Amino acid sequence: MRWTKWIHLTDTHLVPPGQLLYGSDPQARVHAAVSSIAAEHPDAQFCLVTGDLAHLGEPSAYVALQRALAELPMPVHLLIGNHDDRVAFRETFLGAPVDDSGYVQQVMRFGSGLMLMLDTNEPGVAHGVYCARRLKWLAAQLQFSRDEPLWIAMHHPPFDVGLPSMDAIGLRDAQAFAEVLAPHRHRVRHLFFGHVHRPISGSWQGIPFSTVRATNHQVALDLHLAHEIPGSFEPPAYAVVLVDPHQTLVHNHDFLDDSRRFAL
Ligand SMILES: [Fe+2]
């Protein structure tokens, strides 16, 4: 097959089984996403989940997520976000790769190149942090990977997205992050992130990026509101990513959509 396919899923915000979140059942939403992926994209090489796996980091929420994701026919690679608890996450997902400092980040090799999966979680705060230790790890991975094509995945975007309520809790160390990345920018094919619960794409310093709606709840499109995050229940989605040596394509899929299909 021409393409390497993978799935981008984000911000599942699981709560303990039986509980609702903002009136919706995050676990049911994940089950629906998993069923859709298993039925429609069983040939995907892996599923990437870019953080906020659990809403409040409860151990039972991670166990519920683990059970739900076990139904997928492909490997799953998890990142943590600001809503996650790194300790509780690691106690449930025992095999989750971490770096030498215990951050949930890794370099994953796949057919087309390398995926850098980064940990921007900082306990107790909603904004993202990419501290000196993590920067040092990233610099070493970039150095080690020489000239190979790179894809990056992280929870917090390292730039503003034009939503004041979300930009207030963006990545705080964005400048230092950009400086470490700068010499390698030409070989970064795409950057995937979560956090903002909206479909957003564009480019940053020449690097194409995208994110996708979350599975449970969304952030409404409000380019002015700053003092609170405007929640919404726009349709959930996951992204289907297709990669070959010359292209990275990102298709958003509203997996709950049951509207009638017809011949055009
Ligand atoms: Fe989130």
Tell me if 213 sits within 8 A of 198, measured CB to CB.
yes
What is the structure's pLDDT at 83?
Answer: 98
| Distance between Cα 82 and ligand 1 center (Å) | 8
pLDDT in single tens digits along all 264 residues of the chain: 689 999 999 999 999 999 999 999 999 999 999 999 999 999 999 999 999 999 999 999 999 999 999 999 999 999 999 999 999 999 999 999 999 999 999 999 988 899 999 999 999 999 999 999 999 999 999 999 989 999 999 999 999 999 999 999 999 989 999 999 999 999 999 999 999 999 999 999 999 999 999 999 999 999 999 999 999 999 999 999 999 989 999 999 999 999 999 999
| Distance between Cα 144 and ligand 1 center (Å) | 32
Q: Is residue 263 part of a domain?
A: no
What is the structure's pLDDT at 142?
Answer: 97
Q: Is residue 111 part of a domain?
A: yes
| Distance between Cα 185 and ligand 1 center (Å) | 27
| Distance between Cα 136 and ligand 1 center (Å) | 26
Q: Is residue 258 part of a domain?
A: no
The span from the CA of 42 to the CA of 36, in Å, is 9
CB-based burial of residue 65 (10 Å sphere; 0-12 exposed, 13-18 middle, 19+ buried)? buried
Tokens of 60: 């039972």
Q: Is residue 260 part of a domain?
A: no
The span from the CA of 158 to the CA of 138, in Å, is 14
What is the structure's pLDDT at 1?
Answer: 67
Tell me if 73 sits within 8 A of 42, measured CB to CB.
yes
| Distance between Cα 246 and ligand 1 center (Å) | 31
Distances (CA, A) of 32 to 7, 38, 117, 215, 262: 14, 10, 25, 9, 23
Show the domain range for 71. 4-253
What is the domain count for the chain? 1
| Distance between Cα 207 and ligand 1 center (Å) | 23
Q: Hey, CA dihedral for 104, 178, 190, 26, is it positive or negative?
A: positive
| Distance between Cα 161 and ligand 1 center (Å) | 15
Q: What's 21's domain CATH number?
A: 3.60.21.10
| Distance between Cα 226 and ligand 1 center (Å) | 17
What is the structure's pLDDT at 166?
Answer: 98
Instruction: Please measure the distance between the N-terminal and C-terminal CA atoms of the chain and give it in whole angstroms.
Output: 27
What one-character DSSP code corresponds to residue 54? B
Q: Is residue 262 part of a domain?
A: no
| Distance between Cα 155 and ligand 1 center (Å) | 9
Q: Is residue 241 part of a domain?
A: yes
The structure's pTM equals 0.97
- Name the phi and psi angles at 21, rounded to 5: -130, 115
What is the structure's pLDDT at 111?
Answer: 82
Q: Is residue 84 part of a domain?
A: yes
Q: Is residue 100 part of a domain?
A: yes
